[in-house]
Amino acid sequence: MQPLLSMAENGDVKLNIAMLPWLAFGHLIPYLELAKLMASKGHMISFISTPRNIDRLPKIPQTLTPFITFIKINLPEVENLPKNAESTRDLPANKVKYLKMACDGLRKPMVDFLNNTSLDWIICDFATYWLGPMVAKHGRTSVDDFVKRPNWVSFESEVRPSAFHVTRIMQNLTTDDENVSDTYRLATTIRGCDAVVMRSSFAFEPDWLSLLTELYRKPVITIGLLPTKANDNNDSDDTSWLETKHWLDKREKGSVVYIAFGTETKPSQYELTQLALGLELSGLPFFWVLNDQRGLSDDEVIELPSGFEERTRGQGMVCKSWAPQFKIVSHDSVGVLLIHSGMGSLVDGLQLGKPLVLLPFTFDQGLIASYLVEKKMACMVYREDVDGSFTPESVADSLSLVMVKEDGKMYRERAKEMMSLLGDKNVQDKCLDELMCFLQSSSK
């Protein structure tokens, strides 16, 4: 069997397939026969080899010429490789090793070919060991490939990132001065592990965890959702909390929107402005933990709209320092969380039965938000799919829906239902027991 390198996922469609056989006619001829068979089914074939080899191949039937394109790539010169030697039939056995060295020099023309061709599959041979990593870099040619459900997801689901989130993820995966991408780090780490531990539970997302087990081909062990434990509620030693509590105590039960996007997510200036204007437009009381700068070396400090804090002084509070999130969310006055879909924040909210409004920005936030929306666990602020733009009205409408409107009742009820799962100590203990059992049994 020859290696198959996947470039895209397709259903019952006509495929674009490239073929790169080893430079021996015992390989070239069978590859050509396979190419003819696939072409007879209507698939488009790019048959790649050196000029002299292609010129020496048998002619194909005229009916197949629209489906098979012969791609000639020049073999680089290698010391000790005779001139015009392009296949094993041109060489004595002791010089075939130089042909393999020349074959390795086909990397550059193959990169050029991949950059200018949209493919579904490449069928390659034993000698081109370098083609796999190359294909991995060029395997997806369009944002659209990432936002459609791959065919290896065997169950029905609408969970997927938007085009905007894919674009932002790709921008954040690597930089020009970084020599190892995040995707390579993750893939290599998983490949080298004996098992994968996930912050989740099969009760929370059974289908996706089962799929991961199949894809990784190694144990996937859940450690539960790790709900936050309440502190000892000794308020006297925390001045900032006492001030916050004093502000929250003045608000009606379930009336306040709590906004926070974690320690790593900083909105763009555009996103900050739209969000602030949306909060103001909603008229709802809010407590906003705002991360406007990521460390002192961050010189792109985002700013609230001019006059925003003055206009909303009676409506909300903006905190630009660390805040005790779980204490705040636990307060009776907090009715809704507006978050980025980070696991810590969504667990804090759901374990307390507080409904969620989601505004994902980057990393895995778009996928997590899509899953929560599909399961009716949360509502997502509407953003344009391609550029991620959103309006103050979409923020205000989402908050109003989940906080007070009858149509948003399902989100409030679903949040209450989730309390039993996240607050179930037996589920968390079972996950921990299974992890320890695996570690203990595997260490013998």
In whole angstroms, what is the distance from residue 123 CA to residue 106 CA?
15
pLDDT for 57-113, tens place per residue? 999 999 999 999 999 999 999 999 999 999 999 998 889 999 999 999 999 999 899
In whole angstroms, what is the distance from residue 120 CA to residue 115 CA?
13
In whole angstroms, what is the distance from residue 57 CA to residue 79 CA?
27
Instruction: Report, as residue numbers or ranges, the catalytic residues.
Output: 27, 125
Question: Which of 13-22, 91-100, 167-176, 271-280 has the weakest average pLDDT?
Answer: 167-176
CATH number for the domain running over 4-141: 3.40.50.2000
pLDDT of 11: 46
Find out whether 155 and 52 touch, Cβ atoms under 8 Å.
Answer: no
Q: Do domains 4-141 and 239-422 have the same CATH topology?
A: yes
What is the domain partition of the chain in residue ranges?
Answer: 4-141, 239-422
Q: Which of residues 230 and 125 earns the better pLDDT score? A: 125
For the segment(s) 239-422, the CATH number from 3.40.190.10, 3.40.225.10, 3.40.50.2000, 3.40.1160.10 is 3.40.50.2000
Question: Which of 11-25, 162-176, 301-315, 332-346 has the weakest average pLDDT?
Answer: 162-176
pTM for this predicted structure: 0.72
pLDDT for 105-139, tens place per residue? 999 999 899 888 888 889 999 898 888 877 766 65
